[in-house]
Amino acid sequence: MPPRPPTVPALPHGLYERLVTSDEAERIDGLVKDQRAVVTQPTQVQRREHLLTMLTARLPELLDAVSAQSESAVDAARAEIELIAALMRQVRLDEVAPPGYALPAEPLQLLRAIHPPAFAPASPQTGLRKPAMFTAARHTPSLLTELQAELACADHVDIVVSFITWSGVRKLLDILKTATGADTQGFPKTRLRILTTTYIGATEVRAVDALARLPGAQVRISLDGRRNRLHAKAWMFHRLSGFGTAFVGSANLSESAMMDGIEWTVKFTQAGDPDLYATACANFETLWNDGEFQAYDPDDSAQRAALEAALGEQRKRPRQSSAASQPIALHTWFDLRPKPYQAEMLERLASERKHGRLRNLVVAATGTGKTVVAAFDYERQVNGTGGRPRLLFVAHRTQILKQALSTFRQVLRDPSFGDLMDGEHEPTQHDHLFATITTLHRRSLVARLGPAYWQYVVVDEAHHLPARTFDQFLNAVRPEILLGLTATPERADGNNLNLYFDSRPDGSPAVSMRLWDALDQQLLAPFEYFATADDTDLRDITWNRPEETAQLDALISSNHARGRLVTTTLERYVADLNRMKAVVFCVSVAHARFMADWFNRSGLPSVSLTGDDSGEQRDQAVRDLRAGKLTLICTCDLFNEGVDIPEINTLLLLRPTQSPVVFQQQLGRGLRLSTGKESCLVLDFVGQYSAEFRFDTLLRAITGHTRAQLKDSLEGGFGYLPSGCHMQFDRIARERVLDSLRRTLQLNVVRLRQELAAWVARRGAQALTLSGFLRDNQFDISDVYANRRCWTSYRRDLRLPLPASGPREDELMRRMGSILHANDPLALSAWREALSGGDIDPCRVQMLAYQVLHESHETMTAAEFVGLMTQHPALR
């Protein structure tokens, strides 16, 4: 039977810019005669360009074809070289081309368009294959003209801009109406999707309405102008012909952007750079499906009123924005509701409870609204039960409780909900109580009312739980639902919060949104971190011990050389010292007072705030900072938690720390969003540390990078930080941190054994688990299983309690690392089931046996392998 001729691909209507191939030439000739296609004769330059494009596109297939039958890599390489040589000798392509491969038809013709009869669309001046750049210069095409041409022949258009004005829309409205007109079946010829925001109040309602009323157009808007999240400006023109184009740059949908403004826009094409085009499309889809952007209907009076209100709020642009003015939930067309990412957290909590896990930990970066999540979660319980469950909200500071009480009242729309109980406030009831842990403990309230009195208990700043009073409280209370809130679950003392909460099967908390996740979603202001070398000798400090503060105090509190370095660094990095609103984190009360005096003598209005100052003194200092009367507040252990001053735009980290918790807390003070605040400047000072100091634990806490990634970033620049963030080290600081990271990466057997011994000593009587060791020391599991070692072998080295060794333990221990790659949930479940005495999945357990016994070339059944492992309980 003769071979079946190849199927000629469909030719959808649209613009093209490619050569006509031999298998479609007859059909296209017919379309040209019917005035339904446009072809032109290529110039010499075009001919060579398109022939090279075809050859480049097909070359990987040709190389695969000639090397597929080779028996070795050497033979494959030889076959590929011979193909290239043959091409260079101008051998006919069809001698090696795969069946069905279509050569260019002779004479050469360029396919320009397939279209309805007698309607030939015009191609954009810049074509459909090559990239182009629009700079508003006289010698380049007008961006507006090109957009009009692209709109005239596109099947689907996606637009994302920060704002939309009538002056921009009116110039495109005619072409948009034509493009979205009905086709022969009554559907819009072109579909539009448009994303925009209320940023700075620049969007005009009339313009949005005009776009939203176009047939088939969909408009989604973010009403949260504080986040400044959407700065993307892009137009993507999708075509069924495969010749899509994308315009990405600085131009919004406004007259100045498209005509007379100095805007730069880059055009790239689906045909010329398919990967980049696909990436742009995927990013648009991500934004389109982000719950922050709400569908807009211009004929819905509530939606239109909400849009006008949000724009009006942005146009006011107050110079200062108080914490009280910050919305706790999303502006919405209808009612108060959690923001999209908070709604996801609530769904995670609901899912955990469906699985019987009722004691949940929420880990979320400072500023993302952990308390808001708790309030909405409690509201869900109210709606689910039909009443208000008895609630206890516990924290260690009154300021945190006041903010929480205000949040719950707003979410529940009840200004009288709940009572405060601390050293100064007496509650009138205990059913809905916001109490300090010290007052609860001093009054023995749990013992008096009973451990199950409160059905819903929230513990804020839950990383304090291992502290004695918190630990006693949580071991005594028995609520139906327990919710812990923290931004920093890591503890320098190695204590594990999982002791108090129900972890997910993989050991992770119920909800987790770390600092880098929040920054990536632009829920927080980005930080600009600059590290400067400091000559202070800190090599004898015993970190994370009671004596740490006194040792630091002796070195730093009256260090004039360090004071001069700090002021010099401020002058170098702060753009306008008079507009600076800074918090300075100090070692001690004496250090805070010394630095405040130092800054005042340097002409920078400053004050020190410590636990010795009254609440009124603290409030006044914050008001003065906001008003610009102060430029710096020097504090010691006061602003780490529970204080929200969104206007802070500069942080000075003058308190050296080995604690990732303290490091994150200090950084978090400056990341609240605030009107007019583009970023937070963070100035850190890198002293001389001992070899044991762990920079990696600090930097990982704010970047999420592995140690290897940190090393690469320090050597080549931090190129993979969340949008808007920046990290920079001066030469000496960089060398010090790199030396530390290199030592950490050189984690040989001796070093890892020492780390394990130190960790065991800190744990005391607590359980010693591999997951705990990795988590507390910020190691990767591959560190433990490198060098043909494993968790059991290290525990044997230290003579830690373990079951007796089996007959082949040494051999099997060397092979444990061979299964680290396994990530199939079904296989892992089958292994766990079989090795714990349950049913044996013959196929999956056989795979495990082969992997573990591979070097011995030993063959045994799944049941025999399980029997072998039963003799080695320390490895199971």
Side chain identity, residue 793: S
* pLDDT value of residue 88: 61
Taking CA atoms, 127 is separated from 52, 56, 83, 271, 745, in Å, by: 17, 20, 33, 11, 51
Q: Which residues contact residue 341 at a Cβ distance below 8 angstroms, ignoring those fewer than 6 apart? A: 368, 513, 521, 523
Residue 247 covered by a domain: yes
Q: Domain check: are 584 and 696 in the same one?
A: yes
Of 486, 513, 540, the last residue of a domain is 513
* 528 strand-pairing partners: 681, 726
Q: Domain check: are 499 and 542 in the same one?
A: no
Residue 777 covered by a domain: no
CATH code at 153?
3.30.870.10
CATH code at 477?
3.40.50.300
Judge whether 490 and 661 are in contact, CB under 8 Å. Answer: yes
Return the percentage of the chain with pLDDT > 70, whole number.
88
Of 699, 729, 759, the last residue of a domain is 729
**Model confidence pLDDT, tens digit, residues 579-616:** 999 999 999 999 999 999 999 999 999 999 987 888 78
Residue 806 covered by a domain: no
Which pair of structure tokens corresponds to residue 410?
């707003």
* pLDDT value of residue 468: 81
Q: Domain check: are 363 and 299 in the same one?
A: no
354 — pLDDT class (breaks 50, 70, 90): very high
Q: Domain check: are 487 and 564 in the same one?
A: no
**Model confidence pLDDT, tens digit, residues 822-857:** 878 888 888 888 888 888 888 888 888 888 887 666
Q: Domain check: are 370 and 500 in the same one?
A: yes
Q: Domain check: are 571 and 720 in the same one?
A: yes
Q: Domain check: are 434 and 558 in the same one?
A: no
Judge whether 147 and 247 are in contact, CB under 8 Å. Answer: yes
pLDDT above 60: residue 702: yes
Residue 405 covered by a domain: yes
Which pair of structure tokens corresponds to residue 703?
């970047």
* End-to-end Cα, the chain, rounded Å: 61
Q: Which of 66-75, 78-87, 311-320, 428-437 has the lowest mean pLDDT?
A: 311-320
* pTM assigned to the model: 0.68
Residue 835 covered by a domain: yes
Side chain identity, residue 65: A
Side chain identity, residue 520: D
Residue 748 covered by a domain: no
Q: Which residue has the higher pLDDT, 554 or 821?
A: 554
Please give the residue range of the domain that contains residue 529.
523-729
Q: Domain check: are 395 and 344 in the same one?
A: yes
Number of domains in the chain: 5
Q: Which of 77-81, 571-575, 623-627, 696-700 has the lowest mean pLDDT?
A: 77-81
**Model confidence pLDDT, tens digit, residues 763-772:** 666 778 888 7
Of 704, 729, 754, the last residue of a domain is 729
Q: Domain check: are 652 and 700 in the same one?
A: yes
Q: Which of 55-64, 643-652, 807-816 has the lowest mean pLDDT?
A: 55-64
User: Peptide bond before 509: cis, by omega within 30 degrees of 0?
Assistant: no
pLDDT above 80: residue 706: no
Side chain identity, residue 528: E
Q: Domain check: are 347 and 240 in the same one?
A: no
Residue 785 covered by a domain: no
Q: Domain check: are 508 and 527 in the same one?
A: no
Order of all β-strands in the sheet with 391-395: 419-421, 432-436, 391-395, 456-459, 481-486, 359-364, 511-513
Residue 545 covered by a domain: yes
**Model confidence pLDDT, tens digit, residues 43-72:** 888 888 888 888 888 888 888 888 877 778
As a whole number, the mean pLDDT across the chain is 84
pLDDT above 70: residue 422: yes
Q: Domain check: are 165 and 290 in the same one?
A: yes
